[in-house]
Amino acid sequence: METLNIDRDKYKINKLKNYTKSMSILMVEDYEPLHQSLKKILTSLFLNVDAAFDGEEALSLYRDKLKSSENYDIVLSDIAMPNMNGMELSKAIKNINPTQNIVILSAHKDANYLLEFLNLGIRRFIPKPVDFNFLLDELSLVCLAIYKENELSNIIKLSESIYFNTKEKTLYEDKKEIILNSSEKLILEVLILALNQSVSNDEIVNYLYLFSKDVSLDNVRKLVYKLRQKLPHELIQNVHGIGYRIVQQF
C-alpha cells in the first residue's frame, strides 16, 4: 500500500473529514500489514472504526452494532479471506440491510466475478495493491453521497422556499437562515412534529416545559404571534378554540 503523504494529500484529507467526522466504518482485511495500515488511516478520518480479519468476525460485529441500535455508514471489505469471504459477507449484510454501502478491496480482474457484486448493488471497488490516493477519492465519493442523503432526510419542506433542518433545528428561506430564539424554535418544532395537524396551546406549553421553559398560555400566544411575524406566507394558522397548525404549502 502506498504510504500516507500528509503534505500532498492534505486538501483531500481535510475535505473528506468534513463528511467522515460523524461516520462509522467496518473494515475487513485478513492480510496483517494492510489491515494495520488501513486501520491507522481510517481511524484518522472516521469517528468510529471497527476492524475484522475475516467475514465471520465482521458479520458478528455488524450484528452487534445493530443490536445496540447503531449502524455502519460504510463496510470496506476484502474478497479473499478465511472462514467467510467478501462475497459471502456482502450477501449476508445485504440480506440484513439492502441499502448498506459496501466498498470492495479487490485483486480480482475477472469480470464475471465482479458482476456478482454489481448484482448485489455494490458499485465501488478499490484495486489491490491499494493506492492511498485512489482510496481517498473512492471514500470521498461514497461519503459525499451518504452525507447528502443524511442531509436530505433532515430537511422538512414547509413551502417551495422555506425548509426546516431537524438536526440543526434551524429554519431557512431560500437558503438564508431565519433567526429564531430558543422558545420560538421549540414552538416551531412541536408544530412540525404534528405537521398539517392541529396542536393545542396546552400541548405547546407542555412541550416547552420539557425543555425547562415555564410559559403560561398567554405567553404562548405572544410567542406564536412574534414567530408568525418572522414567517412569510402565513405558515402558522390559527385553529379556533384549539391552538395552531402548520400546513405545508406547495
Q: Determine the pLDDT at residue 174.
A: 85
Nearest to 38 by CA among 29, 178, 47, 46: 29
Q: Does residue 233 surpass a pLDDT of 80?
A: no
Q: Determine the pLDDT at residue 77.
A: 96
Over range 50-66, report the average pLDDT. Answer: 96
Q: Which domains does the chain have, with CATH numbers?
A: 6-153 (3.40.50.2300), 156-246 (1.10.10.10)
Quickly state the pLDDT bin for 150 (edges 50, 70, 90).
confident
More confidently predicted of 226 and 155 = 226
The chain-wide mean pLDDT, for the chain, equals 88
Over range 84-89, report the average pLDDT. Answer: 94
Give the CB-side neighbour count of residue 246, counting CA atoms within 13 A.
Answer: 24
Q: What is the CA radius of gyration of the chain?
A: 24
Spatial separation of the C-alpha atoms in residues 144 and 6, rounded to whole Å: 21
Q: Determine the pLDDT at residue 8.
A: 61
Q: Determine the pLDDT at residue 245.
A: 92
